[in-house]
Amino acid sequence: MKTISHVGAIFLILLFGIVSATPAQSVGQITEISLSRTACFGRCPVYEVILRADGTATYIGRRFAPRTGTYRGKISNRGFNKLAKLLTARNFFNFEDHYAVRATDLPSATTSALRDGVRKSVQDYGPGFEEDMRRNGQPTEREHAPAGLLEIERAIDAVAARIKWVKVSDDTTAPSHE
């Protein structure tokens, strides 16, 4: 019996030794975060911003956006990591794939993140509309998006607003994820 206990103990020591000698894996590492906003019946800005953990950023302004064309920029590690932590803290990867208000002619915001090579996208039809209706004292019906989704959308926009963008082309048809 002692021999089996010793063999078991040696096995565990070897197992933990191998595990601790293995380089740390990036389990759950987010490497890309993007936000795409679509058209509405009116002058809603249509653009996409793609932020990457390697510090590169792409902005594609299509219509009624602050800038049109394709732009490149740099995002700080701190800025990207802060967004990645926000997505994790708000349980982004557990959100439904689609939320919508019961109305027409509104824009959509699609938030996407790449984690461990797997992309999660969440479409939010009418982002912020419910908030505006409540502010005006009007009732709303909505497949309720988590409060954290609007927070994430706004945080991505805020980070993108601080990036120094350099225009690289007039092209507005670049693919969503390069």
**What pLDDT is stored for residue 172 in this prediction?**
87
Token pair recorded at residue 167: 């225009």
**What pLDDT is stored for residue 103 in this prediction?**
81
**What pLDDT is stored for residue 140 in this prediction?**
54
The neighbour count for residue 129, using CB atoms within 10 Å, is 19
**What pLDDT is stored for residue 135 in this prediction?**
54
Domains for the chain: give ranges and CATH numbers: 30-169 (3.30.1560.10)
Locate all alpha helices (DSSP H) within 42-172, ordered by sequence.
77-89, 129-135, 147-161
Average pLDDT of 152-171? 96
**Which DSSP letter does residue 23 get?**
P
CA–CA distance from 136 to each of 44, 129, 130, 133, 148 (Å)? 20, 11, 10, 5, 22
Locate all alpha helices (DSSP H) within the chain, ordered by sequence.
2-21, 77-89, 129-135, 147-161
DSSP character string of 134-155: HHTT----B-PPPHHHHHHHHH
Q: Decide: 35 and 110 in contact? Cβ < 8 Å.
A: yes
pLDDT tens sequence across 69-79: 999 999 999 99
Give the rounded percent of residues in the chain with a pLDDT score beyond 90: 62
pLDDT tens sequence across 89-135: 999 999 999 998 888 888 999 999 999 999 999 999 987 665 555 55
Average pLDDT of 58-73? 96
Average pLDDT of 26-38? 86
User: Rounded CA gap, 85 and 108, in Å?
Assistant: 24
Phi-psi map region of 8: left, alpha, beta (phi>0 left; psi -120 to 50 alpha) = alpha
Confidence of residue 143 (pLDDT cuts 50, 70, 90): low
Backbone dihedral angles phi then psi of residue 4, each to the nearest 5 degrees = -65, -40
Task: Using the structure block, give the residue that is written with the tokens 């557990």.
Answer: 94
**What pLDDT is stored for residue 118 in this prediction?**
95
Confidence of residue 173 (pLDDT cuts 50, 70, 90): confident
